[in-house]
């Protein structure tokens, strides 16, 4: 494996934010024998033209599509794979901190000559593989940190898959590639961890002559080499994420710490967010939490449109009140006692609140009940609103705490999103440097 690394980011190292400089420095301090350089937004286009134009691999399709992309996260992911194909080395997003030196990435029982690539498990939650929102993300290898040799076929397989996906999507949307509209899941499936995983499993299958699926890596307890790819356990690169038995950053097999502060690309490519129950990713792969979210959203979908509209309006007013705003957006006075009738402007109204039934047996599907409805009406999931609601539905302040809110214990670890996301535009890579990079980069190792 080559012993050089380079990072790509929006700015050169002289203009790094303090936290980015701190993360980057962990790589140079722990790996003094590795060369470190920075590729920025200013010279990324020149890099792609140089290596994939007529004087390089002569792939005008790659150059054309890269230059035509306006979706910065797609461009950043594609650049990541292009650099790793050309250079090899190690990639780590800018918000990834090195816990141990790169020398620890390949266990001593393996010979580096037998290894073409080093990856780790990010998400291993096959119980949710068929979930309509989470399914495509439930089984994936980590791509915020990985290593590979230059010119690996799997990287070009991934690049070609992305070009095909972009072309097909442009045809489906009736738009040019520069005008594509992409949501969160489309990004993950097209260029992120899902696409990365699909390409690697296909390459493993080709190299071994046997079909490889996620079942070969579910519950992986120790590293394994398959078709020249060293697969590390989830603790290696995904420690501290709070799922997939990834352990914590103090574990003996933890190699990096992902801080997740560079993933603002979701502002432009939003996740699915239910108007009442929010994002299921907030469950952070907790199966019971996901079941509750599913049950609540299914019940909401069964309501007449008029009742759905009322619930959304009440939710919006509740949020506005919590922010100290009235319906017109003006500030309203906050009172010391949040339980008083004056604390929220809608407390006097009959309010529908979904809560988890306390009578549920452990392990059973969560039941749904309406606040203020007799207990006998709360079995199962009602198909609509009863017409004989008790007129004395208690105000919000008098209701028991709602269990619809996602449980605190299911929240992601500090800074961690519900699943691994690719980093922001022109994100960080740690890979082998090339002669076109600026020589004045101050973090260049000796």
Q: Is the pLDDT of residue 212 over 60?
A: yes
More confident residue, 326 or 257: 257
Neighbouring C-alpha atoms within 13 Å toward the C-beta of 398: 13
143 in Cβ contact with 431 (< 8 Å): no
Residue-wise pLDDT for 3-23, tens only, equals 555 444 444 555 678 888 888
The predicted-structure confidence for 334-354, as pLDDT tens digits, reads as follows 333 333 333 223 222 223 333
pLDDT over 60 (residue 152): yes
By CB atoms closer than 10 A (0-12, 13-18, 19+), residue 120 is buried
- pLDDT higher than 70, residue 307: yes
- pLDDT at position 40 is 77
C-alpha pair distances (Å), 413 with each of 125, 140, 246, 250, 252: 17, 19, 11, 14, 19
Is the CB of residue 196 less than 8 Å from the CB of residue 204? no
The helix or strand, by DSSP H or E, that contains position 6, with its residue range, turns out to be strand 4-9
Higher pLDDT, 280 or 361: 280
The tokens describing 393, both together, are: 């539905």
Residue 372 — very low, low, confident or very high, per pLDDT cuts 50/70/90?
A: very low
pLDDT score of 408? 38
The continuous run of DSSP H or E covering 387 comes out as none
Of 24, 96, 42, 67, the residue nearest 422 (C-alpha): 96
Model confidence, pTM: 0.73
**What pLDDT band is residue 262 in, cutting at 50, 70 and 90?**
low
CB 74 within 8 A of CB 268: no
**Region 415-439: what's the mean pLDDT?**
35
What residues form DSSP beta bridges with 140? 123
pLDDT of residue 18: 85
């Amino acid at each position: 494996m080559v012993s050089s690394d380079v990072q790509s980011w929006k700015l050169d190292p002289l203009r790094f934010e303090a936290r980015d400089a701190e993360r980057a420095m962990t790589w140079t301090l722990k790996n003094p024998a590795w060369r470190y350089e920075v590729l920025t937004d200013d010279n990324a286009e020149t890099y792609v033209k140089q290596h994939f134009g007529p004087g390089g691999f002569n792939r005008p399709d790659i150059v054309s599509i890269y230059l035509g992309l306006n979706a910065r996260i797609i461009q950043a992911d594609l650049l990541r794979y292009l650099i790793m194909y050309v250079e090899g080395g190690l990639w780590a997003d800018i918000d990834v901190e090195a816990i141990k030196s790169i020398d620890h990435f390949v266990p001593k029982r393996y010979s580096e000559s037998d290894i073409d690539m080093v990856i780790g498990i990010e998400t291993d939650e096959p119980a949710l593989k068929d979930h309509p929102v989470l399914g495509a993300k439930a089984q994936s290898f980590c791509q915020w940190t990985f290593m590979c040799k230059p010119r690996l076929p799997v990287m070009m397989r991934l690049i070609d898959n992305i070009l095909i996906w972009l072309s097909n999507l442009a045809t489906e949307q009736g738009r040019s590639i520069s005008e594509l509209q992409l949501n969160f899941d489309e990004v993950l499936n097209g260029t992120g961890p899902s696409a990365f995983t699909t390409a690697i499993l296909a390459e493993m299958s080709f190299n071994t002559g046997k079909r490889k699926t996620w079942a070969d890596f579910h519950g992986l307890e120790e590293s394994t080499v398959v078709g020249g790819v060293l697969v590390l356990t989830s603790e290696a690169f995904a420690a501290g994420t709070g799922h997939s038995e990834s352990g914590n950053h103090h574990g003996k097999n933890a190699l990096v710490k992902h801080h997740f502060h560079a993933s603002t690309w979701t502002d432009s490519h939003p996740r699915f967010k239910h108007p009442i129950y929010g994002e299921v990713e907030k469950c952070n792969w907790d199966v019971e939490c996901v079941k509750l979210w599913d049950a609540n959203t299914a019940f909401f979908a069964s309501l007449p449109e008029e009742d759905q509209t009322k619930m959304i309006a009440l939710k919006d007013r509740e949020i506005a009140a919590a922010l100290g705003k009235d319906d017109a957006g003006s500030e309203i006075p906050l009172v010391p006692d949040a339980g008083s009738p004056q604390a929220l402007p809608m407390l006097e109204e009959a309010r529908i609140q979904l809560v988890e039934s306390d009578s549920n047996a452990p392990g059973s599907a969560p039941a749904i009940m309406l606040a203020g409805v007799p207990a006998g009406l709360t079995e199962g999931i009602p198909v609509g609103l009863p017409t004989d609601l008790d007129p004395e539905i208690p105000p919000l302040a008098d209701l028991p705490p709602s269990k619809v809110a996602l449980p605190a214990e299911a929240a992601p670890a500090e800074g961690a999103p519900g699943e691994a996301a690719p980093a922001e535009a022109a994100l960080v890579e740690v890979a082998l440097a090339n002669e076109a990079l600026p020589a004045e980069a101050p973090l260049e190792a000796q």
